[in-house]
Amino acid sequence: MKLQKASKPIITYPKREHIKPILLSATVAMALTACVPHTAGKIPTDNTENPYSTSNTPHEGNQEVNLPDNIAGGMPVFIPEENNQTWGNNPQK
Amino acid sequence: MGQQPSEMTLYLSLTHNCQLRCNYCYAGEKYHKPMSKETIIKSIDFTLKLPMQKLEFGFFGGEPLMEWELFKFATYDIEHKTKEKNIELIKTFTTNGVLLNKEKVIWLKQHGFYVVISIDGNEAMHNTHRLYANGEGTFKAVQNGIKELQKVYNDGEYAVISVATPENINHLPNSLKYLHQELGINNIHIALNYFANWGDETQTYTKLYHQVANYTIEQYRQGKKLNLDIIDDKIKTEIESSCKSCSFGELKLAIAPSGNIYPCERIIGNDTGALSMGNVHTGFDHSKRAELIAQRGNSNEECKTCPLKERCTNSCGCTNYTLTNSINTTHGTVCFFQKLFIEVADKVASTLYEEENEMFMRKFYGVVSTH
């Protein structure tokens, strides 16, 4: 095989930096805000210290996202992250 | 070392021996020559003199589990010494899986090893290459080893690695399905034997990897977890605008049973001394190391204007060296497959992003939707 000439791919998904702050659809935002206690400030990220802890409240590793005022009243909403486990160093790659 | 790295990687090759005779193996001739305890201690002491806050430590080979007592000895030694120096320690190793049993699995779990097992896929794909010295296939033994591991290990604590070659790649889509659905493995590396003669069957390879992409998309749609490195890594190169860089010789050391120090575990082979950066008994050859680091990168004219250059592994020193005898010259086989991997990864990401797939959005963006 020889070196290939590549054309520039058409990318239809965004870079991560371009989607913060995120805009959630109204339906998703409503569903999320319904699960989160209405505290004025930041919800503790450590679940064990969270007096409002429920099964839907955040725990360590979650991400805080500020919604635009017109969607969620400026209240922080926490969205659990997928377990982005580290792959380690793959020696055979 | 000239700089203050925060993270180093150390691989010990405990032996040149292995029960298997995989005909794509690049680890060299198989014979009984274990690393001595003195060499293990010196390798660890030598490495821990370097400045670091974190050390990824692993075994490579030869089959490390054939030297189980040395494996444990080295682990205890490095655990003790990194604790004394307050260095964070990550432990990992790659095994052919044949010797995994209950006793070993429990010990590995207790010591926090991330385990990577080599299984090429279903029986047909695996037994194409991964044979015992007597020519018998190892599939059943490896499958049993994985099942032992799964009794103790949780999902995120192990992975498998499959090697695709021109001779077995037709089995790739079915093998992926087998590993994921029948063996219940969610973390799958698909490596490529770049060193084989891949000929010009480019349409066949393209079709097969698109089948892999389609399978991946379907798993996300069904909400089934699948971490497939060839897809995930390339999506991240676009989303995060970064590609894993080769740490060849700079942040990585690989030490042969003789004590010879290499810039990458894949270079050790028959331990001929080519590309060796010194020996733990005599010290670093600083000029050789500096020379290797200076050569890293990519020198192909064709790559300089390539729109995919930032997403490509064309600067992998060991692959380049093995294929072209030059650390910074990339072979056409690498080019073709890197282009293909990017193409299928973009297909997966574009499709799932368009569909607002919740699992995809959480995994790559940390959010559930951007629409």
Structure confidence at residue B66 (pLDDT)? 98
* B25 at interface of A, judged by CB pairs closer than 8 A: no
* B159 at interface of A, judged by CB pairs closer than 8 A: yes
On chain A, the residues whose CB falls within 8 A of the CB of B90 are: 88
Nearest chain B Cα distance for residue A19, angstroms: 7
Nearest chain A Cα distance for residue B286, angstroms: 24
Q: CA-CA distance, A61 to B18, in Å (whole number)?
A: 41
Q: Indicate which of A2, A11, A13 best probes the interface with B, i.e. most B CBs within 10 Å of its own CB.
A: A13
B243: left (phi over 0), alpha (psi -120 to 50) or beta: beta
Q: Using CB atoms within 10 A of its CB, is residue B345 exposed (0-12), middle (13-18) or buried (19+)?
A: buried
Q: Domains in chain B, start-ordered, CATH in brackets?
A: 7-239 (3.20.20.70)
Residue A87 has pLDDT above 50, yes or no: no
Task: Break chain A into its structural domains and give their ranges.
Answer: 20-34+54-79
CB pairs below 8 Å between A and B: how many? Answer: 134
On chain B, the residues whose CB falls within 8 A of the CB of A12 are: 350, 353-354
Indicate the residue type of A85.
Q
On chain B, the residues whose CB falls within 8 A of the CB of A45 are: none
Confidence of residue A1 (pLDDT cuts 50, 70, 90): confident
Structure confidence at residue A60 (pLDDT)? 37
**CB contact (8 A) between residue B227 and residue A87:** yes
| Count of Cβ atoms closer than 10 Å to residue B69 Cβ | 10
Structure confidence at residue A83 (pLDDT)? 45
* A66 at interface of B, judged by CB pairs closer than 8 A: no
- Helix ranges, chain B (H): 37-48, 68-84, 102-110, 123-129, 139-152, 172-177, 202-221, 229-239, 286-295, 301-304, 317-324, 332-354, 358-365
Residues 98-137 of B with CB under 8 A from A: 114, 116, 118
Residue of B nearest to A22 (CA): B370
**Selection from B88, B12, B116, B3 nearest residue B50 by Cα:** B3
Give the predicted TM-score (pTM) of the model: 0.83
Indicate the residue type of B368.
V
Indicate the residue type of A59.
H
Percent of chain A scored above 90 by pLDDT?
Answer: 5
Beta carbons of B247 and B227 less than 8 angstroms apart: no
Confidence of residue A22 (pLDDT cuts 50, 70, 90): low
**CB contact (8 A) between residue B349 and residue A13:** yes
* A27 at interface of B, judged by CB pairs closer than 8 A: no
Q: Which pLDDT tens digits describe chain B residue by residue (371 residues)? A: 445 568 999 999 999 999 999 999 999 999 999 999 999 999 999 999 999 999 999 999 899 999 999 999 999 999 999 999 999 999 999 999 999 999 999 999 999 999 999 999 999 999 999 999 999 999 999 999 999 999 999 998 999 999 999 999 999 999 999 999 999 999 999 999 999 999 999 999 999 999 999 999 999 999 999 999 999 999 999 999 877 778 888 899 999 999 999 999 999 999 999 999 999 999 999 999 999 999 999 999 999 999 999 999 999 999 999 999 999 999 999 999 999 999 999 999 999 999 999 999 999 998 876 55
pLDDT one-digit tens code per residue, A36-77:
444 433 333 443 333 333 333 333 333 444 444 444 433 434
Structure confidence at residue A61 (pLDDT)? 37
Structure confidence at residue B345 (pLDDT)? 98
| Count of Cβ atoms closer than 10 Å to residue A22 Cβ | 21
